[in-house]
Amino acid sequence: MIITNKRIVITGGAGFLGRCVVRKLKEIGCKNTFVPRSKDFDLRGKEAIVRLYREVKPDIVIHLAGIVGGIGANRENPGKFFYDNLIMGVELIEQGRLFGIEKFVAIGTICCYPKITSVPFKEEDLWNGYPEETNAPYGLAKKMLLVQSQAYRKQYGFNSIFLMPVNLYGPGDNFDPNSSHVVPALIKKCFDAVKNNEDEIVVWGTGKATREFLYVEDAARGIVLAMEKYDGSEPVNIGAGFEISIKDLAELIVKLTGFKGKIRWDASKPDGQPRRCVNTKKAFREFGFKAETPFEEGLRKTIEWYRKEFCRKAS
């Protein structure tokens, strides 16, 4: 698909991943991009979506908007995470069909996978069990967009693709301790401990669980490549193809931030899914995507960005 002359709506385009996607689109020559803001378009409502499509007349929609958070936020808001994420995606796709949109790019999540899955996760294993309990409502809400995409392709010929990124990190991430994911949460804990002369940080779980992390710029590039080159009905993983234990992650962030204290593990809190690591072969085969940013390099860039922001706000 030649996309430089297309009108493209990026929901969530003002967010962490969205800003990178918008930047990538502009880098390749896309001039007609539109980012709906929540104050103008509440995408949980059909009327706002109809108005968005009527006013902007998009050819392509990249649906990045979502209500997300770490384990704590998921435990506290299971109903909200389910409803808001489901209703946004369902109505955006349904109205996209009715308005004749050429292509819909639905962004799912690694949380769609069953709690116990052979590592590395293959797309074919997606339906082999129930997701990890703490984020199941969120994961299932996103997973239903795959069902809808495939059903609409079969009945209406609607071109909708479904991508599943792993945990993202990078400059500009969400560092709010009430809703952040593990990488920004650990970075903030370390900086706060240094600032307050504390000799330890407390981390949830046992540290045994593993996660896979993808630098946000790589994720944005993968999404744009898929938009250009992939038109299949089957889901595709977007990842880096490695896993690291939370224990090793915490120790690496402690080292890179310069925190000299200890890590205390709070085993009364959940670890979440035992392991996460995806098979990335399909993304490379179908649209040539491969992660490029080494993990430690990406962490250094993220920490340096936060250090500047932290110092700026502190001053």
| Residues marked as catalytic | 138
Beta-ladder partners of 214? 168
Residue 203 β-bridge partners: 265
Tell me the two tokens of residue 87. 């209703």
DSSP state of 99: T
Q: Which residues pair with 231 in a beta bridge?
A: none
Please tell me the distance from the alpha carbon of residue 313 to that of residue 315, in angstroms, as a whole number: 5
Give CA–CA dist 76/65, Å, rounded.
20
* Among 38, 29, 17, 309, residue whose Cα is nearest residue 188: 309
Residue corresponding to tokens 């250094």: 300
DSSP code at position 121: B
Q: Please report which residue ranges of 101-245 form alpha helices under DSSP H.
A: 136-156, 182-195, 216-229
- Residue 277 DSSP one-character state: -
Residue 8: both structure tokens together: 């493209």
The values of phi and psi at residue 226, to 5°, are: -65, -40
Biggest CA pair distance of the chain: 62
CA distance 233 to 149: 7
Distance CA 202, CA 187 (A): 12
Q: Which among 82, 64, 78, 75 is positioned nearest to 11, based on CA atoms? A: 64
Q: What is the radius of gyration, based on Cα positions, of the chain?
A: 19
